[in-house]
Structure 1
């Protein structure tokens, strides 16, 4: 089981994961690939658990005032705030709408819109991510200005999806072209939803989930959940009053504690999961999950479903 648990204190960051790694304002961010291949464009990215389970788990760590540049996904992208205070914004230029998320809040960002995020807190912040499908890296598109700014600071993204750093003397291989930017016609097809259109349908607040999960796990993302969607996985929120008894999971399942310490027990062993830890529960394992200590306890549980290929429902 230990190979299936990634401890928060053992996470290995990559500081060159994306095209904006040299761009001022985005050059201090850290990317983490915890389960699956992730979305990194750099060969330096460390993958903690390479298992393909139908969705990816990752994280982003950023100091105050650091932002992730505008990009779009063809597959689902879900974040919950583990540490800090974060602003999520979207639109062609990032000014169509925005929302501020506090610790424990979760956002299921619609596919097919440009989005970015920044740490607006006073300390280093961390957001945990769930990405749809096994090939989440194949669905990232950057806003044209991001590609242009990166080129000005020495980073070129190839059409193959790999980054080349001209400051290190790297160059595109012969026969490989730069990643083309989207045309104005293609950009015109991207929606510009307002804050009022996105927040009620794609954001759930931590303290609302705490109240809803008092007696049973709160269904956060899923066909019959608070955020009704079918991205190829479902998300539940557990608290002290909503834990399950011993059960066997028939599909891939990931446990991500938000608050408190959780005791995971199985036939032949047990382990305590802490905030920021990630546990990939093997299919077929009979296990139970209970808070290990008194006080506030909360946890996000992600399970694969078979009802969609991994794309979040776009705005209509």
Structure 2
């Protein structure tokens, strides 16, 4: 089920005018070099657990969705098209994201957005295709499982399932205000009257061909955080995009530089994970493989938790101390999306300054 918690741990709805999280979680007041000044309390929405099995697919979100080759079901974790009825559990604040399920030889035609768009395949194989900004020449790349590509605003792009079975591709937009896509002239029949037809930028920020990350080529960094030296904190991060609040300079760097969001995959064994911490941005956890527990503290210091099965998610706003651990018997994978591309080191509940001093 979709479960929405206030910081007191009670089930609540973000749409309720009285649902704003009040107060701050209990913090460690000792001399901690990692400690940040307490950030303003969150006022957007409570912690929200999203169950993939209860997400509503939309087969007709766009005017071209029913055309041959464009069939796809859109599952949205966060956000939706501005001005339309919201189908996702939460609106977008700093980013939007979801999953597209496409039958073989189907997907999304050429389109553009005002923000960067990130694609990662979760099941199957997809072709990501785009037009060169200067020459309009077609370009493409095939993505396998957990491969990723980042596309800037100003580039017409699309995707197609090139596998033999239904495929699933995860997409993220770097802004919370999701606008109806911009389409080339050949795809504008039936376009909504208020839809934009001109690009949002005069020049793309980068070439998509330089933004491809193969899963096996994205290195596992076991030293992103000082507390990862503890037995319960041992975990690796594949940092696809940005530093994701790393507090050390050890290990391999992120595969792609900071952008509009931070994006990583955490892998670890049973009982291991991240301790209670906070960030100055919203954060989304999506279980990929295995079962995971996301837990958080309320203003009294009481701990609440939710168990995530594959593709279930937990959204946490800033101002809430949160952590996670692998609840399965074997190594698992969980996605982390941070709503800002460059964030400071985590604001921990516990004092880990001695680990930093001994580094």
The TM-score range, normalised by the shorter chain, is 0.7 to 0.9
Note the aligned Cα RMSD (angstroms): 3.0
2:113 aligned to 61, 73, 90, which one? 73
Matched, 1:230 2:259: yes
1:19-66, Cα deviation, whole Å (9 max, x unpaired): 21231111x211222212x2478x46622212x431112221111111
Contact 2:49 2:306 in 1 (8 A): no
Q: Structure 1 123/306 Cα, relative in aligned 2: closer, same or farther at 3 Å?
A: closer
Choose 1 or 2 for highest CA Rg.
2
| 1:128-277 equivalence runs, <5 A | 128-137=170-179, 140-147=181-188, 151=189, 156-161=190-195, 198-199=208-209, 201-209=210-218, 211-212=220-221, 216-222=236-242, 225-231=254-260, 233-240=261-268, 243-266=273-296, 267-277=302-312
What is the alpha-carbon distance in structure 2 between the residues aligned to residue 45 and residue 248 of structure 1?
28
What is the alpha-carbon distance in structure 2 between the residues aligned to residue 118 and residue 40 of structure 1?
25
Give the TM-score of the pair, scaled to structure 1. Answer: 0.74
For 1:280, the equivalent position in structure 2 comes to 315
1:264-316, Cα deviation, whole Å (9 max, x unpaired): 123432222122122111322222211111334112211122769xxxxxxxx
What is the alpha-carbon distance in structure 2 between the residues aligned to residue 83 and residue 292 of structure 1?
23
Q: Structure 1 260/64 Cα, relative in aligned 2: closer, same or farther at 3 Å?
A: same
Q: Which has the higher helix share?
A: 1
Contact 1:94 1:114 in 2 (8 A): no
1:114 aligned to 149, 156, 160, which one? 156
Q: Give how far 1:136 is off.
A: 2.0
**Corresponding residue SS for 1:141:** coil
Which sections of structure 1, spanning at least 5 residues, go unmatched? 162-178, 309-316
Number of positions where the alignment pairs a residue of Structure 1 with one of Structure 2: 268
Which sections of structure 2, spanning at least 5 residues, go unmatched? 5-47, 224-234, 244-252, 297-301, 344-359
Contact 2:242 2:342 in 1 (8 A): no
For 1:176, the equivalent position in structure 2 comes to none
Matched, 1:31 2:74: yes
Q: Which has the higher strand share?
A: 1
What is the alpha-carbon distance in structure 1 between the residues aligned to residue 341 and residue 172 of structure 2?
16
1:114-151, Cα deviation, whole Å (9 max, x unpaired): 1000111122211122112121215x21011112xxx3
